[in-house]
Amino acid sequence: MDSETLPYTDEHRAFRATVRRFVESEVVPHHAQWEKDGMVPRELWRRAGSLGFLCPGVPEAYGGAGVDFLYSTIVTEELLWTGATGPLFYLHSDIVAPYLVHYGSEAQKRAWLPRMASGETISGICMTEPGAGSDVAGIRTRARRDGGAYVRSGQKIFKANGQIADLFLVAAKTDPDAGARGVSLFLVESDRPGFARGRNLEKVGMHAQDTSELFFDEVRVPASSLLGEEGRGFGYLMSQLPQERLLVAIGAVAAAEAAVDWTLDYVQERQAFGAPLAEKQHVRFALTEAHTEVTIGRVFLDWCIARHLEGKLDTARASMAKYWLSDMQNRVIDACLQLHGGYGYMREYPIARAWADARVQRIYGGANEIMKEIIARKLFERR
């Protein structure tokens, strides 16, 4: 299922084959149980790390493979083509790790990146709070300087990998009166006194992915835990968001492609009024429309990935990809569920789980309404 326009090589294809075998043998057979458990086991992360699936873009000097973004694309696609939303590897590998690569000190890189690449350390990112979601500048978690340390207090919510992560990238206000210029980023270990995990939240979908509230009660961290410069955190976050939004878009297209494939199989097997559903014109047209939308989405996604490989994907285009492709994902999966009839509402069918899992794609990574505002600002700059 390689793109015809992206520069995949034989090495990429061999990597894809290895990832596919891993997903089919070590993820798919166990995913239903992980959904009941509310998380995936740590051993899966270590196994993925041993095979080079975690942090592939991290330089070799810090334990990664130093390869291009297509390797991360492959891992995300192979998981989403099977509906496996539990192992949220891209959050760890392609959202948290790049902050360390780009803004971390040499000591921070050497301390954490090799452990992240091996799966020994699992990471998460803490921006959203009960009163601040897409508005990162509105966060209230405080980090005050106290001699050679920072003392942090506050609450974060909806944190993916919240139950199993060992290391969190935390956004906090070091100057509460400076707005966006008062935001700084810190690396906080989960065993720090004063840190506490809330319950594993019960979500509509993505049941195998642990999501939690996190509490910081006078958590003391050394000044060396500051990532980059104090007060530069908002800028760091904004510079990395295009890749995060592109990853959401990659997952959206892969999930929609899978939904169409599952539904094609279903309507050819399912009988109604003495004939397969696939012989009904409405069914054929509905799947034709879905297939067309997904194909258009794939072309735009591949264009965005190509731009990202060149370092030229801007915030507005990444926002377009995130909003339009996640909307498309939801439209297509909903249409495919409808073609399954009552069976589509049963969680034993992958289309039902994909339908529930898809909804959050329009919310996290920046709500789609915020994406439209970002695009509009860029659009009206041209006038």
* 4 part of the active site: no
d(CA 118, CA 135): 33
The conformation of residue 167, written as its DSSP 8-state character, comes to E
Strands 275-276 and 271-272: antiparallel
Strands 123-126 and 167-173: parallel
The answer to whether residues 122 and 161 touch, using CB atoms and an 8 Å cutoff, is: yes
Closest CA to 360 of 286, 255, 235: 255
Strands 211-222 and 167-173: unpaired
Residue type, 4: E
Adjacent-strand bridge partners of 23? none
The conformation of residue 350, written as its DSSP 8-state character, comes to H
The residue whose two tokens read 């992560």 is 165
Task: Kindly write down the DSSP assignment for every residue of 274-321, as one continuous string.
Answer: TEEGGGSHHHHHHHHHHHHHHHHHHHHHHHHHHHHHTT---HHHHHHH
Whole-number Cα distances in Å, 372 to 149, 162, 284, 317, 376: 40, 29, 33, 11, 6
Residues 6+ apart with CB under 8 A from 54: 45, 48, 89, 92, 93, 116, 117, 118, 119
Residue 380: count of CB within 10 angstroms of its CB? 8
In the set 244, 279, 310, 373, the catalytic residue is 244
> Catalytic residues, which ones?
244
